[in-house]
Chains A and B, each alone.
Chain A
Amino acid sequence: MTDEAVKKNQPDGPSPKDIKQVDAKTLGISWSDGHESVYPVKLLREKCPCAHCIDEWSGEKKIKPGSIPDSIRPLKLNAVGLYALQFEWNDGHSTGLYPHNLLRSLCQCQECIAESVA
């Protein structure tokens, strides 16, 4: 998926039907189109789309590789309107809004990983 497509929520794009904690380090989302996504929470923190983490003008990533500790966990997550999720992290960060399309594109299920490698 291109960056442009990630930023924009498609009108008929899938929406989460269920969001649950799989284990201490994994978030699961069941989508309206039947897809089941899994996410290591550390990856989600690393992909934070907020202006502190990705420069608004240049798109440059501000999070240095390896700077997010393995102990990173969300404390809480909540829906933002009908289009995004917000995470409150245990490192004090909480400014990222993750639109559904971004979340979908970050899916780490075996199928999606195989697709992105191919």
Chain B
Amino acid sequence: MSDLQIKIMAALKTVMDPDLHKNIVDLGFIKNMEVKGGQVKFDVELTTPACPVKEQLKSECSTKVQEIEGVDSVEVNMTANVRASEHSQPVLTGVKNIIAVASGKGGVGKSTVSTNMAIALSQTGATVGLMDGDIYGPSIPKMMGIPITPPKGGPNNKFFPHENHGIKVVSAAFLTEEGQPLMLRGPMLGGIITQFLQNVEWGELDYLVIDLPPGTGDVQLTLTQKAPLSGGVIVTTPQQISLIDAEKGVKMFEQVKVPVLGVVENMSYFVCDGCDKKHYLFQSGAGKSLAEQFKIPLLGEVPFIPDVVISGDNGVPITLSQPDSPATKAYQALAGQVAAQISINQAKGDSKVGAGFELAWKE
């Protein structure tokens, strides 16, 4: 390493990742350093392309290196290599991180949040899948603009997810005629979810978002027992009454030791077209008080905008149809926060017995 390179590394050592609380050199983010005369070029490889402080880190690196004597120009290239949450389960082997979106209560907008969060993650460059865990009321295909056709089968009972807007999707809606109800008793639900986990050819995914049905029943239990979840996100609406159920969602994850990444308050406020005032239709603060009560991050407050619903009905989610909408901004911030929380949890790196642990007893 040349003297200049040593100086550059020393300068980069003063750049801290605000989420992981370590400097970016020790985190191993600096890659492909090239120094030719006074021209410096290197990559900063983050743990997620959805990193909320990407631009801030880039400019800090650039400024600090620029200040070194002998440096004429700096080229910082931001890349990402999503790290996999540790698991050795025989399911979902190509999937690096699994995010379950839950609420205790129905009608809070889990599917809308899941869909838009999945798209926001993919817009950052991540490969993303979306599993519709709501077997009785699947709504993801409609929101994603995917017509109901049977999934394409592969060898060994496997089948391929549908795909639209760059997102791979599985849903129980594809398993029945359009508009026909799936009438099943509880134990069958676990069977379908197990199929979704074991038999879908997801390929390589950075993030799999699972849209859970409301409640704390068969689907939730099967998933927490069989899928190596990286974390759960709780969706609530602002009124205090929805806290009763949202709390149960948090406690469900806690009891099965799935890290709670945070809470999202959906339909937070309404901005009418006549004035810019935020109208809190359902009062406010449930998301915040839930976050405070359980000491978990408040990941975002998504405004109540009719276009969110219209976009969902048209099959082009608002994160795609209206890039500048306040709702889109909220979803993008949410995706960044979720990805950051997963990276933070991974960085804690405490070695625990994983979900795929097995021990054969010897006589």
Contact = CB atoms under 8 A, between A and B. Distances in A.
A15 B360 CA distance: 20
Given A24-B363, A73-B361, A81 B226 contact: yes
Nearest to A13: B257
A59 interface: no
Nearest to B225: A81
A15 B257 contact: yes
Interface string B202-230: 00000000000000000000001110110
Contacts of B352: 15-17, 32, 82
A9 B254 contact: yes
Query: Chain B contact residues (Cβ within 8 angstroms of A): what range?
Result: 20 to 34
Contacts of B1: none
A100 interface: yes
A20 interface: yes
Interface string B259-270: 010000000000
Contacts of B228: 82
Contacts of B354: 79
A76 B224 contact: no
Contact of B363 (A8, A73, A81, A83): A73
B358 A77 contact: yes
A115 to B, nearest CB: 24
Contact of A18 (B350, B353, B355): B353
Nearest to A23: B362
Given A15-B257, A81-B256, A82-B256, A75 B353 contact: no
Nearest to B351: A17
A82 B359 contact: no
A80 interface: yes
Contacts of B357: 19, 78-79
B361 A21 contact: yes
Nearest to B363: A24
Given A15-B352, A16-B353, A32-B350, A8 B255 contact: yes
Contacts of A8: 255
B150 to A, nearest CB: 31
Nearest to B250: A11
A79 B361 contact: no
Given A19-B359, A82-B258, 20 more contacts: A9-B256, A9-B257, A15-B352, A16-B352, A17-B353, A18-B353, A19-B353, A21-B362, A24-B363, A32-B350, A73-B361, A76-B359, A76-B361, A79-B355, A79-B356, A81-B258, A81-B355, A82-B228, A82-B229, A82-B256
23 contacts: A9-B254, A11-B257, A11-B260, A15-B353, A17-B350, A17-B352, A18-B353, A19-B359, A32-B350, A76-B358, A76-B359, A77-B359, A78-B358, A78-B359, A79-B353, A79-B355, A80-B225, A81-B224, A81-B226, A81-B355, A82-B229, A82-B355, A83-B257
Q: Considering the complex of A and B, which 4 residue pairs feature the smallest CB-CB distances, nearest first?
A: A79-B357, A11-B254, A83-B257, A82-B257
